[in-house]
Structure 1
Amino acid sequence: MCLLYRFEYDQRLGIAIPDLDQEWHRIDKSTQEEILSQWEEIRGDIPDRVKQLEEKINQKQKALFNEDNFKKSCEINTEISELASTINDLWLWFRAQNEISTKSHH
């Protein structure tokens, strides 16, 4: 029996995301239910992960406020942007509850 799906840990997002070997509509209903059940468990961790990233953003904003070095300020701004982008991607995954896309969000 070939594996139709797996959940791969995404280091950037801090969660496992689905990796489907077939298009969603080609997967039998039983397997779809199994995937969705596993996804719901993972999906439940997303708000906590977002909160962790928001705390990091807040820390970096405080550091930015006190930073006088322009180059370092730019680095901190870039880090804040990357964290905000990760939060955005997490919310996209959070909304992907009824149908899991085969698109990669890397």
Structure 2
Amino acid sequence: MTWTFVIDDRLGIPLPQLELEWDQYSEADRSEILLRWEEIRGTIPDQVKKLEQIIIKKQAQLNVEENFKLSCQLNSEIAELAGTINELHLWFRVNQDITSSAAHH
């Protein structure tokens, strides 16, 4: 098989690993990839909510933290989680891009 989905530990979701260009896949493969991606894509909002809950807890800790070094660490962790959420939002939109580009071929 020239494609698969591999879990991304940071994002918490499987991401597509395509060995060919999109238009080099058969219509059947593209349909199968899109179906699998749609299933994964549907889990992204829940993953975002989990990360947002972690951010809320860390912000609460940050609000009462008096140790500057620990405050900086919490800030860094919050920023990393926010970056992960942004990346998840980008992946959430990938299906629209693939579907529209596939429709043009």
Q: Determine which structure has greater relative contact order: mean sequence separation of CA pairs < 8 Å that are 6+ residues apart, divided by chain length.
A: 1
Partner of 2:57: 59
Moved >6 Å (runs of 4+): none
Deviation of 1:28 after TM superposition, in Å, equals 1.3
Q: Which has the higher helix share?
A: 2
Gap runs ≥5 in structure 1: 101-106
Deviation of 1:26 after TM superposition, in Å, equals 1.2
Partner of 2:39: 41
Normalising by structure 1, we get a TM-score of 0.90
Partner of 1:104: none
Residue type of the alignment partner of 1:26: Q
* d(CA) in 2 for partners of 1:55, 1:74: 19
* d(CA) in 2 for partners of 1:35, 1:4: 11
Q: Secondary structure of 1:96's match?
A: helix
Deviation of 1:27 after TM superposition, in Å, equals 1.0
* d(CA) in 1 for partners of 2:10, 2:94: 18
Question: Could you tell which deviates more after superposition, 35-44 or 25-34?
Answer: 25-34
Partner of 1:20: 18
* d(CA) in 2 for partners of 1:25, 1:81: 37
Gap runs ≥5 in structure 2: 100-105
* d(CA) in 2 for partners of 1:41, 1:27: 20
Number of aligned residue pairs: 98
Normalising by structure 2, we get a TM-score of 0.90
Q: Secondary structure of 2:76's match?
A: helix
